[in-house]
């Protein structure tokens, strides 16, 4: 290990043997992406309905805000370790942590999306004879979609950056390179793993940013 570890990291990334097989970069990236998508999806199943409910009714808003804030403050590594001690090595422990990590952004996005609808527009929709469900699905959600996607964006970036912790308790993903490198003091490999995680996070962020733009309802886009 001599020379510049950053240059060596790029050499490591360029090595074709690292781009094939079950521990190759494409496979590890897919695993990493899989953990992220699964974590965010499970969190969304909980947080989106809850956020829409809180936003539409205003019920439990204080509790939701407090809980989301508290969840944000939890140290993820600590959570992963704690859950691993409770449920054992495997995917369950990190996944639980990712879900808890993703919920606050999704919850805040969904509830603020609903709240952002102009009260006069909502009142008009109600006065025309829309049911509360129709107001939610035909007015509040379409108008607030960019904010909902914004919640997904925040959650995804956080989970993708944290998903390397899955490898800490015996799973795959890009974290494997980081923890392998850490164990063997192979800094180029560690850096390469980090660069890959960063690149993946940037790509996902950009993709969701574009989605956010696309979900801006026609008629409300600035001309």
125 binds another protein (CB under 8 A): yes
16 binds another protein (CB under 8 A): no
List, in sequence order, the alpha helices (H) in the chain. Answer: 5-14, 25-57, 61-73, 76-87, 92-115, 119-127, 132-135, 141-162, 175-183, 187-214
Q: Which of 3, 16, 22, 129 binds another protein (CB under 8 A)?
A: 129
143 binds another protein (CB under 8 A): yes
124 binds another protein (CB under 8 A): yes
Looking at the Cβ atoms of 59 and 85, the one nearer to another protein is 59
Beta-carbon count within 10 A of 183 CB: 9
Q: Under DSSP, is residue 19 helix (H, G, I), strand (E, B) or coil? A: helix
Min dist. Cβ of residue 130 to another protein (A): 6
214 binds another protein (CB under 8 A): no
Q: Which stretch binds another protein (CB under 8 A): 10-18, 92-100, 118-126, 193-201?
A: 118-126
> Distances in Å between the alpha carbon of 100 and those of 47, 97, 132, 219?
10, 5, 29, 36
For the chain, state the CA radius of gyration: 21
75 binds another protein (CB under 8 A): no
Report d(CA 59, CA 140) in Å as an integer: 16
Q: Which of 40, 99, 100, 139 binds another protein (CB under 8 A)?
A: 139
Q: Which stretch binds another protein (CB under 8 A): 29-37, 114-122, 156-164, 203-211?
A: 114-122
Q: Which stretch binds another protein (CB under 8 A): 55-63, 129-137, 170-178, 204-212?
A: 129-137
Q: How many residues bind another protein (CB under 8 A)?
A: 21
Report d(CA 23, CA 29) in Å as an integer: 10
> Distances in Å between the alpha carbon of 82 and those of 40, 92, 159?
20, 12, 18
């Amino acid at each position: 290990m001599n020379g510049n570890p950053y240059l060596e990291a790029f050499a490591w990334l360029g090595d074709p043997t690292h781009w094939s097989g079950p521990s190759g970069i494409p496979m590890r990236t897919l695993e990493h992406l899989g953990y992220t998508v699964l974590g965010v999806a499970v969190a969304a199943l909980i947080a989106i309905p809850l956020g829409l409910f809180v936003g539409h009714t205003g019920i439990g808003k204080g509790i939701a805000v407090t809980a989301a804030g508290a969840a944000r403050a939890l140290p993820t590594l600590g959570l992963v370790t704690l859950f691993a001690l409770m449920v054992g090595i495997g995917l369950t422990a990190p996944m639980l942590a990712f879900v808890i990590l993703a919920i606050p952004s999704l919850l805040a996005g969904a509830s603020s999306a609903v709240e952002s609808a102009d009260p006069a527009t909502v009142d008009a929709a109600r006065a025309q004879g829309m049911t509360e469900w129709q107001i939610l699905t035909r007015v509040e959600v379409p108008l607030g979609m960019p904010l909902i996607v914004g919640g997904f964006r925040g959650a995804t970036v956080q989970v993708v950056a944290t998903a390397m912790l899955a490898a800490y308790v015996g799973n795959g993903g890009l974290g494997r390179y980081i923890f392998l490198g850490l164990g063997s003091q192979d800094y180029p490999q560690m850096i390469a793993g980090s660069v890959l995680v960063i690149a993946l996070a940037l790509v996902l962020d950009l993709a969701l940013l574009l989605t956010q733009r696309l979900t801006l309802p026609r008629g409300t886009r600035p001309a």
